[in-house]
Amino acid sequence: MSWFLKVCKNGRAIHEKFASKYYDHITLGIDFTARDLQEHQKSKGLPWEIAKAFDHSAVIGPWQYIGETEKNLSRHFRLEKNGKIVQEGDTSLMIYQADQIIHYISQFFTLQTGDIIFTGTPKGVGPIEIGDRYKAFLSNQEILNFEIK
């Protein structure tokens, strides 16, 4: 599970003090990895992008608007698998905050309106099985609820 930002205006080489002007929606999501394919590709010294970029590999919740004054607020989030918490975090505990991430990545490519930034994953990554039910919560509001098929 990751905390996602949605870019709201184009920009490149964005100074950190202005970075908050470049996103206005957040949500949670999961970017799945086909670990077997990843290990196979790695063992052959090949790129393993295909282990992350397959059909339905990313589940993204509905976007929530956040105003400028809400951007620095701490947000708790968690992921439940079959009713048990498997990942939990808080935006205040992120190694790099949203403004730092936007500043950094905008040094290498232009951010475009509608781009989605995946911010990272807290500990608790694990295997999935058909029939698993996942629920993700942002500040105790259910954002995702789905079953693996």
Predicted local confidence at residue 76, as pLDDT: 94
Average pLDDT over the chain, rounded to whole? 93
What does the block give as tokens for 147? 């079953």
Q: Does 22 have pLDDT greater than 90?
A: yes
> How much of the chain, in percent, has pLDDT values that exceed 90?
72
Q: Does 24 have pLDDT greater than 90?
A: yes
Domain count, the chain: 1
> Is 36 inside a domain boundary?
yes
Predicted local confidence at residue 30, as pLDDT: 92
Question: What's the average model confidence in pLDDT over 8-29?
Answer: 97
Predicted local confidence at residue 13, as pLDDT: 98
Predicted local confidence at residue 110, as pLDDT: 98
Helix (H, G, I), strand (E, B) or coil at 137: strand
Predicted local confidence at residue 98, as pLDDT: 94
What does the block give as tokens for 10? 């184009």
> Is 50 inside a domain boundary?
yes
Question: What's the average model confidence in pLDDT over 67-84?
Answer: 92
For residue 114, what are the domain limits? Answer: 2-73+95-127
> Is 35 inside a domain boundary?
yes
> Is 37 inside a domain boundary?
yes
Q: Which positions ≥6 away from 64 have C-beta within 8 Å?
A: 25, 26, 27, 138
Predicted local confidence at residue 11, as pLDDT: 98
Diameter of the chain by CA atoms? 48
**pLDDT digit string (tens) for 81-112?**
999 999 999 988 889 999 999 999 999 999 99
Predicted local confidence at residue 119, as pLDDT: 87
Bigger pLDDT: 91 vs 8: 8
What is the 3 state secondary structure string of 43-108? HCCCCCHHHCCCCCCEEECCCEECCHHHCCCCCEEEEEECCEEEEEEEHHHCCCCHHHHHHHHCCC
> Is 138 inside a domain boundary?
no
> Is 79 inside a domain boundary?
no
Place of tokens 């039910």: 133
Question: What's the average model confidence in pLDDT over 61-78?
Answer: 91
Rounding to the nearest 10 degrees, give the CA dihedral for residues 104, 110, 116, 121. Answer: -20
> Is 54 inside a domain boundary?
yes
CATH at residue 28? 3.90.850.10
β-strands 141-147, 133-138 pairing = antiparallel
Residue 106 CA to residue 98 CA, distance in Å, equals 12
